[in-house]
Amino acid sequence: MELSILYDRLRWEEKAIAEEAKKNGLNVSLVDAKSHPLTLVGEDGLTNSKFGDVVLERCMSHIRGLYYAAILEREKIVINPYKVLSLTTNKLLTTLTLDKANVPTPKTAVAFSLESALELADKMGYPLVIKPIIGSWGRMVACIRDRREAEAIFETREMIHEPLQQIYYLQEYVKRPPRDIRSIVVGDEIITSIYRYQPEDDWRTNVARGGAAVLAKLEPEQEEIIIKAAKAVGEGILGVDAMESERGLLVHEINGCVEFKGASSVSTVNIPKRIVDYAVKKVRR
């Protein structure tokens, strides 16, 4: 059996998965999405040439990974599938999907112009959180404490010539402990959960920003929420992120290409092995 790992930058995670797959007797190919064009219509077989039975989509660029999955899954088993990625890549769609499935998620609203965003922010009340609807590592996720900061941030975004930046996705600032929860879900199972403690100089808990990983033991009702959230976007290998609030656990993000170096450093679970086993099971099924 051959497993392909699609990447655009080789991180610790992709190397760990490749190593584990080799240990388990699989043929592994690492394919750089940046240097491998795909045929949409035609007969030159570009699509087929390099890929194995199952493809793990591990691109850092969400958009690149999303479209690659759409094309490849005509012929291959792709993890995660396009349908899952189309929801997880986009925070606006994730929020809608979670709420539709009755998964508790922070109060969120969206505006499509500077003026209406200001009006909306005043109505929601401060502090607020603004996020790009596509993004990761906490980049451009900002806390807005008052009207003045709202004006400054919205005006700056207005000047960025990138249509997605003019979608003002605003969220209540959740009163939470100085940590959030990252659960790694493989198929229908939570394989490990960690707390991510925010560093001293940041309110965001992303490990990429210096957040510290600590093993977490979740309550059964918390696990139930995480599993329900994962099911809401479909099945795959997911990083479900949630915050502890006065209203219980609130799921704020689902990652379709989950980073797990932080989790691996504290968990006893062999995460890469669980990922490889899942991919093998998908082919055999």
Residues that bind Mg ion (CB under 5 A): 241, 253
Of 17-36, which residues contact ligand ADP (CB under 6 A)?
none
**How many residues are there in the chain?**
285
Measured CA to CA, the distance from residue 248 to residue 235 in angstroms comes to 24
Tell whether residue 138 is a contact of ligand ADP (CB under 6 A): yes
Query: Residue 236 or 256: which CB sits closer to ligand ADP?
Result: 256
Per CB under 6 A, the list member of 34, 49, 112, 137 interacting with ligand ADP is 137
Q: CB 206 → ligand ADP: shortest distance, Å?
A: 5
Q: What SS3 state is found at 207? A: helix
Do residues 131 and 141 touch, judged by C-beta distance below 8 A? yes
Query: Residue 99 or 277: which CB sits closer to ligand ADP?
Result: 99
Tell whether residue 62 is a contact of ligand ADP (CB under 6 A): no
Of 231, 233, 232, 251, nearest to 243 by C-alpha is 251
x/- site string to ligand ADP, residues 246 to 275, per CB under 6 A?
Answer: ------xx----------------------
Q: Is 175 exposed, middle or buried (0-12, 13-18, 19+ CB in 10 A)?
A: exposed
Tell whether residue 205 is a contact of ligand ADP (CB under 6 A): yes
Per CB under 6 A, the list member of 72, 129, 230, 258 interacting with ligand ADP is 129
How many Å is the maximal CA-CA distance in the chain? 59
Stretch that binds ligand ADP, among 1-9, 93-101, 151-159, 202-210 (CB under 6 A): 202-210
Q: What are phi and psi of 229, to 5 degrees?
A: -65, -45
> How far apart, in Å, are the Cα atoms of 241 and each of 61, 80, 172?
19, 17, 16
Stretch that binds ligand ADP, among 44-52, 59-67, 198-206, 276-284 (CB under 6 A): 198-206
